Amino acid sequence: MRPSRAYAGRGMADSIDKLQMSITKRYGGKVVLDQFPLEIVGREFVTFLGPSGCGKSTALGIIAGLVPPSDGEIHLNGRRIDDVAPEKRGFGMVFQNYALFPHLTVFGNVAFGLSLQKRPSAEIEQRVRDMLGLVRLAGYEDRYPGQLSGGQQQRVAIARALVLHPRLMLFDEPLSNLDAKLRVEMRAEIKQLHAQLGLTSIYVTHDQAEALSLSDRIVVLREGVLMQVGTPQEIHDRPKNVFVADFMGFRNFLDVTLGKEAGGMIEAGFKGQILQARARDSFRPGEHAVLAIRPEDVRLGQSGDGANVLRGKVELVEYLGREQEAEIALDGGARLWVRSHEKIVLGEMLDLTLPADKFVLLRRE
Ligand SMILES: Nc1ncnc2c1ncn2[C@@H]1O[C@H](COP(=O)(O)OP(=O)(O)OP(=O)(O)O)[C@@H](O)[C@H]1O
């Protein structure tokens, strides 16, 4: 891909080769990041994903140099940087609340860092205008932040960071204050800028759809502990534990006792029935485990050879537009969520098929 004009003369962004770290953060006696390990290579888009309070903003703040780590080190291209001042790290940062200077125009906000660097005014003029063109704000130079929508303010904040050719871009929930439609549009713009400018980006979010759509790799955190690192597809299809599965939209968790294994399949006893699931290494017969399955993977009716069929009564129907999601009270007492394009009627009895290859076999926690 050709470098954008906004980066003309410098080629692509001064991207990093590798960022490595292992950091611990304590507030008082409380550990909020526990030896959080991470390795990022140049041009990667990595997302920190997790619920509120899991430590993702703290991790980003430590990388930025805004929060001192309690223990551990950060290395950039083999050089230690956790003792380097934030402004000397050459990172760009975009925050949830935009953090623009209200008394400066759009031009003034984007030009601010270049002015501090005492770049020649003709260069500043050119770089700011090119960058505003890139974030689709050409013509807004003389407006003040208070005269812009939230989405436009966030574009200014992104331009302000990018104009300095950051080695690493850090995004802290940048779309959280925007409405749903704008979030989807802006996440596409961020992804495009990342690719177009050859950036290396770390992005913090609690929104799994955002993480899936943006990332090369997703880092899932829970209470300061790393739960799983993987590509969006790995995290979505093969969560490693109940926490990640739950966070990624698996809504059904069946407590089972594993039985015998044959031909790559393992038997799973559930409420007096035997289900079949794809076997996984390190699970043994007799072990208590969890079978997770997404509502959209549960099928209405009996299909195939009649295996893995559960029966129950529709207790609740949620209308989702094209589909419905229904909660089914199973004969054995458990509950199951199913999502379907077909009409589901409250109170009716249904057979549900749980395809063996859609189960994810997990340890009970
Ligand atoms: N300055 C501070 N002093 C004490 N505790 C703090 C401080 N900053 C953060 N914490 C605690 O550290 C933990 C992690 O906070 P952090 O803001 O990193 O989480 P987060 O995952 O980014 O959450 P959110 O999405 O709500 O911002 C939380 O329990 C929080 O209360």
Query: Residue with the nearest Cα to atom 6 of ligand 1?
Result: 27
Which of residues 242, 269, 294 is at a domain's end?
242
Are residues 153 and 46 both part of a single domain? Answer: yes
CB 59 within 8 A of CB 23: yes
Are residues 206 and 276 both part of a single domain? Answer: no
Are residues 97 and 180 both part of a single domain? Answer: yes
Query: Residue with the nearest Cα to atom 7 of ligand 1?
Result: 27
Query: Residue with the nearest Cα to atom 4 of ligand 1?
Result: 27
The chain-wide mean pLDDT, for the chain, equals 92
Are residues 325 and 352 both part of a single domain? Answer: yes
Which of residues 215, 242, 269 is at a domain's end?
242
CB 26 within 8 A of CB 212: no
Q: How far apart are CA 198 and CA 167, in angstroms?
A: 10
The pLDDT of residue 285: 86
User: Count of domains in the chain?
Assistant: 2
Are residues 167 and 66 both part of a single domain? Answer: yes
The pLDDT of residue 9: 41
Residue ranges around ligand 1 (CB below 6 Å)? 27, 32, 50, 52-58, 206
Looking at residue 264, which CATH number applies to its domain?
Answer: 2.40.50.140
Domain that holds residue 290: 250-363
CA of 248 to the centre of ligand 1 (A): 22
Are residues 286 and 217 both part of a single domain? Answer: no
Q: How far apart are CA 145 and CA 336, in angstroms?
A: 49
Candidates 23, 58, 95, 203: which one to mutate for ligand 1, based on the most atoms within 8 Å of Cβ? 58
Are residues 79 and 224 both part of a single domain? Answer: yes
Query: Residue with the nearest Cα to atom 18 of ligand 1?
Result: 55
Are residues 256 and 107 both part of a single domain? Answer: no
The pLDDT of residue 332: 79
Which residue, chain included where needed, has tokens 């260069």?
Answer: 123
The pLDDT of residue 71: 96
Instruction: List the beta bridge partners of residue 204.
Output: 48, 172
Looking at residue 122, which CATH number applies to its domain?
Answer: 3.40.50.300
H helix or E strand, kind and range, residue 363: strand 360-363
The pLDDT of residue 14: 60
Which of residues 242, 262, 278 is at a domain's end?
242
Are residues 279 and 297 both part of a single domain? Answer: yes
CB atoms within 10 A of CB 121: 11
Q: Tell me the pLDDT of the chain (365 aa) as tens digits.
A: 444 555 544 444 466 889 999 999 999 989 999 999 999 999 999 999 999 999 999 999 999 999 999 999 999 999 999 999 998 999 999 999 889 999 999 999 999 999 999 999 999 999 999 999 999 999 999 999 999 999 999 999 999 999 999 999 999 999 998 899 999 999 999 999 999 999 999 999 999 999 999 999 999 999 999 999 999 999 999 999 999 999 999 999 999 999 999 888 999 999 999 999 998 877 888 999 999 999 999 999 987 777 899 999 999 999 999 999 999 999 878 999 999 999 999 999 999 999 999 999 999 98
Whole-model pTM?
A: 0.91
Are residues 67 and 154 both part of a single domain? Answer: yes
CA of 32 to the centre of ligand 1 (A): 7
The DSSP line for 238-289 is: --SSHHHHHHTT--EEEEEEEEEEETTEEEEEETTEEEEEE--TT--TT-EE
Are residues 236 and 320 both part of a single domain? Answer: no
The pLDDT of residue 303: 77
CA of 33 to the centre of ligand 1 (A): 10
Gyration radius of the chain's alpha carbons? 25
Residue type, 260: K
Are residues 108 and 152 both part of a single domain? Answer: yes
Q: How far apart are CA 195 and CA 187, in angstroms?
A: 13
Distance, C-alpha 248 to centroid of its chain: 10
What is the ipTM score, two decimals? 0.95
